[in-house]
Structure 1
Amino acid sequence: MKLVVVSAGLSSPSSTRLLADRLAAETLLHLRAEPEVIELRDLATEIARHLVTGFPPARLASALDAVAAADGLIAVTPVFAASYSGLFKSFFDLIDKDALTGKPVLLGATGGTPRHSLVTEHSLRPLFTYLRALVVPTSVYAASADWGDEGLAQRIARAGTELARFVTPASQDGVPDVDTTAAIAPRSLTGAITSVHPAHGFEVVPFEERLAALRVDH
């Protein structure tokens, strides 16, 4: 099983890479997978060349293939002008249009101010929805003031758990891992998801019960 992490941080070290690493570490607490990190800053020249020529150099082709073959994907970008970075967008512009279809994806972003905290919802989520990826419910934005805050740690833990549960795992003998079997639940639910519990998976209430409760309330 393969977990691919795409980091679009421009500096080294960077808060974007730090967030990507923490999201990956939390996911791997709940999922047996081999991680691979792709640093887009190292591929910037190759990305620009591919956009101009239409042919990817070997290193970039390998990165694109890794994303396409991943069982789960973590994608993290710094925020510029209230949106994802140009390098981040350029890389995903080069992904085959069907490569992310149905693929579980966890989104993250970093910025200097909390004012951009909704960038994951108004910029990142629509992009990956367009690519037909299966974006997990919790995305994580980390402002400079968030590092060391318990709230950020809780969001990272929740998001990593969700990604692990959305990836369909299998043990070496081909039997699904009991700890993460609930990952497939959202694809065949006949009720409403009311919560996600780290130990017990999704709590589902049949729609009939939800409707009955609403009628009583009104």
Structure 2
Amino acid sequence: MKLVVVSAGLSVPSSTRLLADRLAAATGRHTDVEIQVVELRDLAVEIAHNYVTGFLGPELSAAAQAVKSADGLIVVTPVFSASYSGLFKSFFDVLTVLDKDAIAGTPVLIAATGGTARHSLVLEHAMRPLFAYLRAVVVPTAVYAASEDWGADGLDERVERGAAELAGLMRPAPVPDEGLIEELIPFEQQLAALRPQ
């Protein structure tokens, strides 16, 4: 299965990318996945050109195709002004202009990084509604990492729980053994068999 990780971190190294990598590795421990990372920082110029020209550059086109064909997504953004970054939103705007159903039905694990725990609600008031609007299937556990969370208790557990939920949604439903499927008997026949003769 193909897991695509979208990271909107701007610096190198980036705590946003670090969290994205942790989530991807944890998901890989729960199910067999091929991981592809999309670094939005590297696509910023092509995203801006798309806004003013309407044309996709080759790297942006490849990233959009990767996201559209993913079996699961991990999306991570830094928090700016109590919301996701403009670069993060711009990428998903480009994606949905190309195809409004691009990620409909795709399992998504949302995550964010920020300087303080006070911004953790960005996951619920900004990111979850965005992906619900895009008709993705957002896993119940969202992961936020503030500066003080790195190395502290709790982050690893949230990472593992979110990854396990994503892996569970990515796995195809098991096909029942045909020998176990009972023949369907119409209700009227079942009722008639219960009546005294």
- TM exceeding 0.5: yes
Q: Quote the residue 1:167 is aligned against.
A: 170
Offset at 1:111?
0.2
Q: Does 1:7 align with 2:10?
A: no
Give the Cα separation in 2 of the matches to 1:142 and 1:97. 30
Q: Quote the residue 1:61 is aligned against.
A: 61
Give the Cα separation in 1 of the matches to 2:171 and 2:55. 33
Give the Cα separation in 2 of the matches to 1:32 and 1:169. 12
Q: Quote the residue 2:45 is aligned against.
A: 45
Query: Is there any run of 5+ residues in structure 1 with no aligned partner, and where?
Result: 177-218
Q: Does 1:115 align with 2:97?
A: no
Offset at 1:169?
3.7
Asked if structure 2 preserves the Cα contact closer than 8 Å seen for 1:136 and 1:159, the reply is yes
1:101-150 deviation line (CA, Å, top 9, x unaligned): 10000000000001001110000000000000000000001000000012
- Structure 1's consecutive aligned runs of 4 or more residues displaced over 4 angstroms after TM superposition are none
The structure with the greater share of residues assigned to strand is: 1
Asked if structure 2 preserves the Cα contact closer than 8 Å seen for 1:77 and 1:84, the reply is yes
Higher relative contact order, chain-length normalized (CA < 8 Å, sep 6+):
2
Task: Write the letter of the residue equivalent to 1:106.
Answer: L
**Where do 1:194-209 residues align within 5 Å?**
none
**Where do 1:26-175 residues align within 5 Å?**
26-95=26-95, 96-169=99-172
Give the Cα separation in 2 of the matches to 1:142 and 1:87. 19
- How many residue pairs were aligned? 172
Asked if structure 2 preserves the Cα contact closer than 8 Å seen for 1:31 and 1:169, the reply is no
With the length of structure 2 as denominator, give the TM-score of the two structures.
Answer: 0.85
Q: Percent of counterpart pairs with the same letter? A: 67
Instruction: Determine helix, strand or coil for the equivalent of 1:29.
Output: helix
With the length of structure 1 as denominator, give the TM-score of the two structures.
Answer: 0.77
Give the aligned CA root-mean-square deviation in angstroms: 1.1
